[in-house]
Amino acid sequence: MILSALLTIVAAHGGQAHSKPASHKKTQPPAVQAKAKPHAAPAKPQASEASKGYLPDAPTSSTVLAKVNGVSIKASDVDNLLWDWAGRGILEDLILFQLIKDKADKVKVSVSQEEVQKAFDKQIGEIQKQVPAGQQLETFIREKGFPKSRLYLHLQADLLMTKIVDQNFKQTDYINVSTLLVVPKSKQQTATTPTPGPAPTPPEVTPADKQEAAGKATDIYNRLVKGEDWDKVLQSSEQSPQAVQTHGALGWRAVAAFPALTQAEFKTLKVHGYTKPIETPNGLQIFRIEGFGPSADAASLETLKKEYEGRAKQSLAQELQKGAKIERLYGKSAK
């Protein structure tokens, strides 16, 4: 629920990426400070006022954490279990964050503490709306596995990834289209004749069906290029009621999602131009260009960019892990 999209692609960082001398007043968030040695007095986080308190001081080994019927449970009782139960997951988070940071350094992008803090404050505001009445925010986010230090660093990682992938975002990679579909008869029967139970296996489209559909599609294309009205053709060519109602609109799509031949045609056409019929998994399709990427309005552009970023960040995370030399040494000696 909280930042669910980030859980699979971003992570916390162990401290080396933004480390500064201890005397420097403006340092990284508390979660990226060097951790105190086991059972040693905790190091004070060198954090800005905005980020202080996100990472609590670790208790010393003799600190009593709880009492049960008078029996004390100390920090030393928790330490080894903490590593065994949570160490591996945290390690994977640290590995991925380091990969992201290395990539960001390579392509010369960065995020400021102010940018992360702004995103953090916004996210905390959204999470606060989900907190049940009578429960504290701190308790709620810890129960979800997202204490503030982790949330802060997940946001830092996400902002870095966004800046990395945005370098490759181009409006020209998108096109606004409508479509007209010609479905072979056998596919039409499968689609329009529901049966109880699991969906039947679609019958193989026969050569005769394909030829008939191709003839219809060619006829429709010729009518369009001769100047017949798009909506009139839609209404007279066995399109679905929904397609007629929406004027066949598909909206903005990535050019790369279309067949190669259609992509090549897009380069030769103007707005309201028609592509030749092309076979797709849906049948035979004709596409009408409604607009090219640079003409997208601000709202459409923002939507396209968000969709692109979601896909691109997932791909980047996979790419980084495949291409890196990662030595996982923790736990190898465990029995």
Give the pLDDT mean for 129-139: 93
What spatial distance separates the first Cα and last Cα of the chain, rounded to whole Å?
A: 35
State which amino acid sits at residue 105: D
- The answer to whether 286 and 217 have CB atoms below 8 angstroms apart is yes
8-state DSSP, 274? B
d(CA 115, CA 123): 12
Residue 31 has pLDDT above 60, yes or no: no
> Exposed/middle/buried for 175, CB within 10 Å: 0-12, 13-18, 19+?
buried
8-state DSSP, 178? E
Strands (E), 131-209: 174-182
pLDDT tens for each residue of 244-255: 999 999 999 999
Looking at domain 172-190+206-295, does it have CATH number 3.10.50.40? yes
8-state DSSP, 194? -
Give the pLDDT mean for 202-216: 84
Which of 43-47, 169-173, 273-277 shows the lowest mean pLDDT across its residues? 43-47
**Which secondary structure element, helix H or strand E, spans residue 92, and what is its range?**
helix 75-106
Collapsing DSSP to helix, strand or coil, 289 comes out as: strand
d(CA 253, CA 250): 8
State which amino acid sits at residue 107: V
pLDDT tens for each residue of 63-88: 999 999 999 999 999 988 988 888 88
**pLDDT band for position 150 (cuts 50, 70, 90):** confident
| Token pair in block for residue 127 | 């999470």
The predicted pLDDT at position 303 comes to: 94
pTM check: above 0.75: no
The residue with tokens 């030393």 is 76
Which of 16-20, 166-170, 211-215, 297-301 shows the lowest mean pLDDT across its residues? 16-20
- The domain limits of the chain are 4-167, 172-190+206-295
- The answer to whether 217 and 280 have CB atoms below 8 angstroms apart is no
Please provide residue 325's backbone torsions phi and psi, each rounded to the nearest 5 degrees: -90, 105
pLDDT tens for each residue of 231-276: 999 999 878 899 999 999 999 999 999 999 999 999 999 999 999 9
| Higher pLDDT, residue 220 or 45 | 220
β 71-74/283-292 pair status: unpaired
Contacts of 131 (CB under 8 A, 6+ apart): 137, 140
| Higher pLDDT, residue 87 or 6 | 87
Neighbours of 204 (CB within 10 A): 8
Average pLDDT of the residues of the chain:
81
Contacts of 64 (CB under 8 A, 6+ apart): 72, 73, 74
Collapsing DSSP to helix, strand or coil, 285 comes out as: strand
Residues forming a β-bridge with 274: 288
Collapsing DSSP to helix, strand or coil, 203 comes out as: coil
Buried b / exposed e over 205-232, threshold 16 CB at 10 Å, is: beeebeeebeebbeebbebbeeeeebee
